[in-house]
Amino acid sequence: MADIEKRVLGKSGIEVTKIGVGLWAIGGTEWGETDDQESLDMISAALEMGINFFDTADIYGDGHSETLLGRAMKGRRDRFIVASKIGWKGFDDEKGVSAYDTVDKLVAGVESSLDRLQTDHLDLIQCHIDFKEPNMAVFVEGFQKLQAQGKVRAYGVSTSDFAYLQDFNADNKTATLQIDYSILNRTPEAEIFPYTLAHNIGVLARGPLAMGILTGKFSADSEFGEGDFRRNWIENPDENRIYLNDLGKVEKLKPLAEGRSLAQLAIQFVMQHPAVTVAIPGAKRISQLKENVKAALLPDLTADEMAAIDAITPPGGGRKIWPA
């Protein structure tokens, strides 16, 4: 078991390893083919490597990701810090409003997640909707009710919209923010990270590998399978232009990865920001997981390395990676 540094997750007081595992991909619907046993083996391996933080959502594989995590936790729930998210199921795109228009509905939705996870509590529940919609107050009130009942230990929001984060945290009880952050997307550094530091909000940094772009394994000719949303990077002309620009930045980053993989460099960068509590790169296989964990055991990037990254994507610069 690796001795991975632990950090306190904002005002929740919960201690988490500075690297966790994002479990979107194991849902099996949007990241190409998956194998359930391989996913379960990966989760067990993460635990044995010293990771304690796992992030999922009710919509990942329509609940399948939560179900798999529940199976993996059986008999050892105490070793897991579990975060899930709620909000998109039944969302009315036409009206721009969530299906959770009462506290009772929200509580029932979270209880469905608890059933799939086979646990009596979540360590963290997050509003998955990334913009302010009419039922925001229902989420805050519902989360606080669940907290009072002991069904969740802390709550937060997943967004890159600064005004929305401030509104969600109007009473200063929001413990966490989940946000897309990477070498290619440094936009949170401008306003959001100073705010989270000032208000003791723990940051879960998703997308540290920019949907795989920062692994350095993709090219202009890369192909993505059926059901993989990244096909749009090739097939959609606007997205393709952005993708090719990102690949150009990756080429400039590669010389900095000496003695480690480019993915490890990218994860190191994210974990090193003082506002970030935990980086949550996704993984489907143990081989990917091992590469990610190594990044948590490397020394900090040097001032020269940071300056070289700044020259490629300036502080506060870059662009949001879907779904930011």
Burial code (b: 16+ CB inside 10 Å, e: under 16) for 37-53 equals eebeebbebbbebbbbb
Amino acid at site 137:
A
Give the pLDDT of residue 30.
62
Q: Per the structure block, which two tokens stand in for 144?
A: 């606080």
What structural domains and CATH numbers belong to the chain?
13-312 (3.20.20.100)
> Hunting for tokens 């990334």 — which residue is that?
130
For residues 37 and 315, what is the distance between their CA atoms, to the nearest angstrom? 41
- Tens-level pLDDT at each residue, the chain (324 residues): 669 999 999 999 999 999 999 998 888 766 667 889 999 999 999 999 999 999 999 999 999 999 999 999 999 999 999 999 999 999 999 999 999 999 999 999 999 999 999 999 999 999 999 999 999 999 999 999 999 999 999 999 999 999 999 999 999 999 999 999 999 999 999 999 999 999 999 999 999 999 899 999 999 989 888 877 888 899 999 999 999 999 999 999 999 998 999 999 999 999 999 999 999 998 888 998 999 999 999 999 999 999 999 999 999 999 988 665
Q: Phi, psi at residue 199, to the nearest 5°?
A: -110, 15
> Which of 60, 100, 155, 164 is labelled catalytic?
60
- The region, left, alpha or beta by phi > 0 then psi within -120 to 50, assigned to residue 98 is beta
Is there a contact between 9 and 175 (Cβ–Cβ < 8 Å)? yes
What's this model's pTM, rounded to 2 decimal places? Answer: 0.95
User: Over the chain, what HEC string results?
Assistant: CCCCCEEECHHHCCEEECECEECCHHHCCCCCCCCHHHHHHHHHHHHHCCCCEEECCCCHHHHHHHHHHHHHHCCCHHHCEEEEEECCCCCECCCCECCCCCHHHHHHHHHHHHHHHCCCCEEEEEECCCCCCCCHHHHHHHHHHHHHCCCEEEEEEECCCHHHHHHHCCCCCCCEEEEECCCCECHHHCCHHHHHHHCCCEEEEECCCHHHHHHCCCCCCCCCCCCCHHHHHHHCHHHHHHHHHHHHHHHHHHHHHCCCCHHHHHHHHHHHCCCEEEECCECCCHHHHHHHHHHHCCCCCCHHHHHHHHHHCCCCCECCCCCC
Q: Per the structure block, which two tokens stand in for 234?
A: 């090739």
Residue 83, strand partner residues = 55, 124
Does residue 164 have an active-site annotation?
A: no
For residues 69 and 25, what is the distance between their CA atoms, to the nearest angstrom? 12
Give the pLDDT of residue 60.
94
